[in-house]
Amino acid sequence: MSKIIEINVLGRDFQINCPDGEEESLMQSVNHLNQKVNQLKESGVVGFDRILLMASLNIINESSNQTPDNLIQLKLVQEKLNNFDKILDQALSQH
C-alpha cells in the first residue's frame, strides 16, 4: 500500500506516492536533494530543470565513489533517483 506525501523542491510542492514505511527514507532523500539544490543555487546555477539534473548527477557521483561494500545501497539510491525523476516528470506535466 502507498500514500500520498507532499514534498517541496525548489519552492515547488509535489504530491508523490510513497510506499508504506518508506516515508522517513523519502524525506531524507528529499532533504539531501534540497541541500544539493541549495548549493547549486548559491553557486549561480539557474533553471529548475538544470538545477535538478545537476543535483541528481552530483548525488549519483557521490554514491558511485563508495566502496564495493556499499554497492547495494548505491543501487537503492539510483533506483530512488530514477523513481524521483519519473515522479517529477509526472508532476511537472500536470502544471
Residue-wise pLDDT for 54-69, tens only, equals 898 888 887 766 566 6
Q: For position 90, which CATH number holds?
A: 3.30.160.880
What is the reported pLDDT for 31? 92
| Residue 9, all three cell numbers | 523542491
Q: What are residue 17's DSSP bridge partners?
A: 4
What is the reported pLDDT for 68? 60
Region for residue 67 given its phi and psi (left: phi exceeds 0; alpha: psi -120 to 50; beta: otherwise)? beta
What is the reported pLDDT for 80? 79
Residue-wise pLDDT for 35-49, tens only, equals 999 999 999 999 988
Domain holding 34, by residue range, is 2-94
Q: Structural domain tally of the chain?
A: 1
Q: How confident is the model at residue 13 (pLDDT cuts 50, 70, 90)?
A: very high
Beta carbons within 8 Å of 36's beta carbon, 6+ residues apart:
55, 58, 59
What's the chain's average pLDDT? 83
